[in-house]
Amino acid sequence: MAKGEGKSTLRPVNWPLFPALAVVAGLLMAPLAIVLIMSTRQAAPGAAGGIAGPYVFSLANYVAFLHPTYLRYAGDTLWLSLVATLISVTAAYPIACWLAFARKTPWRRIVLASLVITLYASAVVKVYGVSIAFGPNGMRDWLAAMWSVGPSNRLVTSTIVVIGLVNFLAPIAILMMVAPLQQINPSLGAAAQSLGANRITAHLTVIIPICRGGIAQVSMLVYAAAVSAFVIPLILGRGQINFLSNLVYARFSEVADFPGGAALSIILLVVTLAATLGLGRLIGGGHRPWQRAAA
């Protein structure tokens, strides 16, 4: 923005911002503050909402989380999300390259349109599709044979959750990755190849280093979306695999333990924000992550 523009004779009008700011403050920030306070209350099983009488500060809800059972849920959440993110981002790179550099043929338009359709297709549709495609009458037995275990083994369920996550994340990863790749002059890759690099080396030594920041940010956003997935582990995990998000909901729907649910929410929030803001900034990249927080 040029400096001279600041010298306008007009007073800037700020009021159009206020309603939206009020909505975010009133419906997000204030409720989150309530969650934070709730997470430090004492839990009382049996009471309404599981809340003990007057407010007494306690970290018991967070300490309870250190139990091995909970750590295992956290481990499932982080690990399965990581596997699904790596698969999605790796597959997204070549497809996004093609979308970014290919000429605008009808074929490219069809692929772009199908990706946008899968991106905005209902998560309910996706989860249902995966659950019958890899259900008892579907390809579940193949997966069981692949791991050489029984069909209801945890390993098979984990694989199906990862498949569900990839089904959900890959279109997001592809469409988000097109933008950073398009900032690159396509003749750079050709130049590297004409100087003797093979295709893979050209990408590894020229293109990927240039858009490293963009790729890192896409990965972080995809990881954050995976960690906060709700429907996918709820349906495909069949009770064997639970993500932190499912535990938060169970604290409301099954055991009415609001302080416990609040502590879990804060933990999940910290994990997601670390993925989107902190780590993305650490690895680098010019854009602020939220500017690309699509889907």
Partner 1 sequence: MKRLVDNLSVLLIGVFLAFVMAIIIAPFLYSVVMSFDPRSYLGSFPPPGLSGRWYAKFFSDERYMAALRTSLSVGLLSSVLASVLGALAAFGLLQVRSHRRRVWLDGFLAAPKLVPNVIVGFALLLAFAASGVRPGMLALTAAHCLITLPLVVRSVSAALQGIRPSLVEAAMSLGATRARALWDIVVPLARTGIVVGFVFALAVSLDEVAASAFLTTTDDVTLPVVLISDMKANFDLTIAAAAVLQMAAIILVVVVLDIVVGLDRLFGEGSYGHREE
Residues 191-230 that bind partner 1 (CB under 8 A): 196, 198-200, 224, 227-228, 230
Q: Is 34 in the site for partner 1 (CB under 8 A)?
A: yes
Distance CA 161, CA 242 (A): 10
Nearest approach, Cβ of residue 130 and partner 1 (Å): 5
Contacts of 271 (CB under 8 A, 6+ apart): 77, 78, 227, 244
Distance CA 21, CA 35 (A): 20
Number of residues that bind partner 1 (CB under 8 A): 106
Nearest approach, Cβ of residue 35 and partner 1 (Å): 5
Q: Is 53 in the site for partner 1 (CB under 8 A)?
A: no
Residue list 89-148, contact with partner 1 (CB under 8 A): 90-91, 94-95, 99-100, 104, 109, 112-113, 115-118, 120-133, 135, 137-138
Residue list 244-273, contact with partner 1 (CB under 8 A): 245, 248-249, 252-253, 258, 261-262, 265, 268-269, 272-273
Contacts of 64 (CB under 8 A, 6+ apart): 70, 260, 263
Tokens of residue 232, six digits: 């996918």
Nearest approach, Cβ of residue 58 and partner 1 (Å): 17
Residue list 172-191, contact with partner 1 (CB under 8 A): 175, 178-179, 181-186
Distance CA 67, CA 60 (A): 12
Nearest approach, Cβ of residue 290 and partner 1 (Å): 4
Contact 233, 241 (CB under 8 A): yes
Nearest approach, Cβ of residue 205 and partner 1 (Å): 14
Span from 57-65, 71-79, 141-149, 243-251 in contact with partner 1 (CB under 8 A):
243-251
Q: Is 231 in the site for partner 1 (CB under 8 A)?
A: yes
Rank residues 141 and 283 by Cβ distance to partner 1 and give the closer one. 141
Rank residues 68 and 130 by Cβ distance to partner 1 and give the closer one. 130
Tokens of residue 46, six digits: 């049996």
Q: In 3D, which of 171, 157, 166 has the Cα closest to residue 234? A: 157
Give, rounded to a whole angstrom, the gap between the first and last alpha carbons of the chain. 29
Which residue's entry shows tokens 């902190």?
Answer: 278
Tokens of residue 112, six digits: 């772009």
